[in-house]
């Protein structure tokens, strides 16, 4: 399907499949300039009540470019979108992962950030990305997690209008724009801004991360057959075979005539 991306998310039931088709309505056309993100590992931090598109669109966008995407949550199981029937499987929990395992963090919006900011492990997980200089991207209410983490002082940021005062009180320089990139920090406002949000994450990963796979095939030297001597093979001994028995004489037909 030219001009479309397909991305499949396994729902919590383990058997249901949710196919997300990103159409030109989101500006994510296949003929746009792509960056190969093979070698990048991205965590998507979710809690109960995520916004479906703000979660799935970045996941699909990055995965389609070769990035490895892992859904991280407070506990194992699944989380439900607050605005649809979509459920998303949590693959790892914040208590058993570290920022060192990833190259970037994405925090979707919805009701999820208000849940995450109440969990110390989730807040620390997000703070570790920012403090380590790793790519950290939050959209809509997602920056609330970073507000609680106390990592926005003096940083340029945006978000849904409802959290503008929160951002300012946290020391951020708020700007009402589709996407703001301040070094390793990327923030965005609403689902309509997803094309700019995803593109900014892609560009930041290309700038900040060594996107080479962590393995390379061993070089194979050319083989010169002249370097190998002729094999010294001893002939096999003649097999010890018993001689065939003498043939039996033909019977005389006269006694039977």
197-210 pLDDT per residue, tens? 999 999 999 987 77
240-251 pLDDT per residue, tens? 666 667 776 766
Exposed, middle or buried: residue 239 (CB in 10 Å: 0-12, 13-18, 19+)? exposed
Find out if CATH 3.30.470.10 is the number for domain 37-208.
Answer: no
The reply to whether 140 belongs to the active site is yes
Contacts with 43 (C-beta within 8 Å, 6 or more apart), sequence order? 70, 71, 72, 92, 97, 101, 102, 104, 105, 106
Cβ distance 90 to 79 under 8 Å? Answer: yes
* Residue of 138, 140, 186, 194 with catalytic role: 140
Q: Model confidence at 231, in pLDDT bands (50, 70, 90)?
A: low
pTM above 0.85, yes or no: no
CA dist 123 and 168 (Å) reads 19
The Cβ of residue 200 has, within 10 Å, a number of other Cβ atoms equal to 20
Tokens of 250: 């033909």
96-139 pLDDT per residue, tens? 999 999 999 999 999 999 999 999 999 999 999 999 999 999 99
Q: Model confidence at 81, in pLDDT bands (50, 70, 90)?
A: very high
Contacts with 175 (C-beta within 8 Å, 6 or more apart), sequence order? 156, 157, 158
3 state SS of 81:
strand
What integer pLDDT is reported at residue 250 of this predicted model?
Answer: 67
Q: What is the mean pLDDT of the chain?
A: 83
- Rounded mean pLDDT of 208-222? 59
85-99 pLDDT per residue, tens? 999 999 999 999 999
């Amino acid at each position: 399907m030219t001009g479309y991306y397909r991305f499949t998310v396994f729902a919590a039931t383990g058997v249901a499949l949710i196919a997300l088709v990103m159409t030109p309505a989101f500006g994510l056309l296949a003929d746009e300039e792509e960056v190969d993100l093979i070698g990048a590992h991205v965590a998507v931090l979710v809690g109960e009540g995520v916004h479906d598109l703000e979660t799935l669109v970045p996941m699909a966008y990055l995965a389609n470019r070769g990035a490895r995407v892992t859904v991280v949550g407070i506990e194992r199981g699944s989380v439900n979108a607050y605005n649809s029937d979509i459920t998303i499987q949590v693959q790892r929990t914040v208590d058993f992962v570290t920022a060192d395992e990833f190259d970037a963090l994405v925090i979707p919006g919805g009701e999820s950030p208000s849940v995450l900011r109440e969990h110390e492990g989730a807040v620390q997980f997000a703070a570790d990305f920012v403090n380590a200089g790793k790519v950290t991207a939050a959209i809509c209410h997602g920056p609330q997690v970073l507000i609680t983490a106390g990592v926005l002082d003096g940083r340029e940021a945006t978000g849904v209008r409802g959290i503008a005062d929160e951002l300012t009180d946290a020391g951020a320089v708020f700007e009402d724009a589709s996407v703001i990139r301040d070094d390793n920090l990327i923030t965005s406002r609403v689902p309509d801004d997803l094309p700019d949000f995803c593109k900014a994450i892609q560009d930041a990963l290309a700038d900040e991360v060594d996107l080479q796979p962590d393995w390379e095939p061993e070089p194979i030297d050319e083989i010169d057959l002249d370097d190998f001597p002729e094999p010294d093979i001893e002939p096999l001994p003649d097999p010890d075979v018993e001689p065939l028995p003498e043939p039996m004489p033909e019977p005389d037909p006269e006694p039977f005539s």
